[in-house]
Amino acid sequence: MAYYKKFVHLVFMFSSAEPLIECVPNFSEGRNHAVIDAIADAIRQVPDVKLLHIDMGYDANRTVYTFAGKPAAVAEAAFQAVLTAAKLIDMRQHHGEHPRMGACDVCPFIPVQHISMEEVIALSKSVGRRIGEQGIPVFLYEFSATSSERQNLAYLRKGEYEGISDKIMQPEWQPDFGPQLFHPTFGMMALGARKFLIAYNVNLDTKDLQLAKNIAREIREMRMQSGNSKAHRTLQHVKAIGWWMEAYNCTQISTNITDIFESPIVEVFDIIRATADRFGVAVAGSELIGLIPEAALKHDRMSPQEVVSYLGLDSLKPFDLQERILERLLVKV
């Protein structure tokens, strides 16, 4: 709760007294524009919801949607989006760089203003129950999780889609909602309430995938270490994998930053760059997936635009602050 109050105080200072939440579902389709558009339309058709951003990744074969609005409306939009994905995505045909376990792989709800994490947890469970009633196995994660293991998305994704048919029949893999059966076209999904998260990828000037994986493993090992080192402390809230991005003709260190205050994005970039340098690899800018709060771009010596340039966020494609900073879009909701 201390984190939530800090986040709201620093980032979301709106005049509206109405509760506001955000939803950032990830769908396992990044190539078929008709499917991507259909999911977007399912979100847009719900009143009191604003679709803020769509981030489509061809190599990852994954699309991240960001929308926000009144809690009940956001819950309905998420439900409709998942139902649309269930009709249009067949996981038996899915291949991509990003780890995944379902047509809607993960669906997080994030408190923005005038609503507690506890209320968002309750809302996530109501959405999960509705989705489960459609025959889809739903596992609650993060703050909504019903066990300590299930808090971790990586635990739920273990074995990915291909491993579901075996593990879901084990007693410990009883879904929180929906049948304990393998759903061949959908797979299974994670759903829950969480803090704000930044999906952030650093580009490496190498095509050597094994080198990228080695650098990511080093980052993960630093994350697991404790002590007084600034690098260790900064990386406590960073998850990392190495992968190849054909569209960009480079490898990346793909990260999730789960605490933007304890693990500032500039410090994360600097540590990854220093780690890559030890492996004899240079970095070539970076990439943001989805949106970022303005607080995450604040720096003692740089303006937000200078931070964008320092990180090379415009190295792969244009980066418009007006279109990528969350609260600049939320004021229009």
Q: Would you kindly state where each structural domain of the chain is located, as residue ranges?
A: 2-193, 198-330
Global pTM reads: 0.89
Residues with Cβ within 8 Å of residue 90, at least 6 apart in sequence: 103, 185
pLDDT of res. 100: 97
- Reduced to 3 states (helix: H, G, I; strand: E, B; else coil), residue 7 is helix
Q: Which of 247, 223, 195 is nearest to 58 (CA)?
A: 247
Our answer to whether residue 95 is catalytic in this structure is: no
Q: Which fold has domain 198-330?
A: Alpha-Beta Plaits (3.30.70)
Q: Which fold has domain 2-193?
A: Formiminotransferase-cyclodeaminase; Chain B, domain 1 (3.30.990)
Give the Cα separation of 150 and 241 in Å (integer).
20
Give Rg (Cα) of the chain: 19
pLDDT of res. 327: 83
pLDDT of res. 231: 85
pLDDT of res. 262: 92
Give the Cα separation of 234 and 227 in Å (integer).
11
The one catalytic residue in 98, 114, 183, 299 is 98
Mean pLDDT by groups of 10 residues along the chain of 333 residues: 43 62 97 98 97 95 97 98 98 96 98 96 98 98 97 95 96 97 98 95 96 96 80 90 94 94 95 97 96 92 96 92 89 61
CA of 13: how far to CAs of 59, 209, 292, in Å? 37, 43, 16
pLDDT of res. 12: 42
pLDDT of res. 317: 87
The residue count for the chain: 333
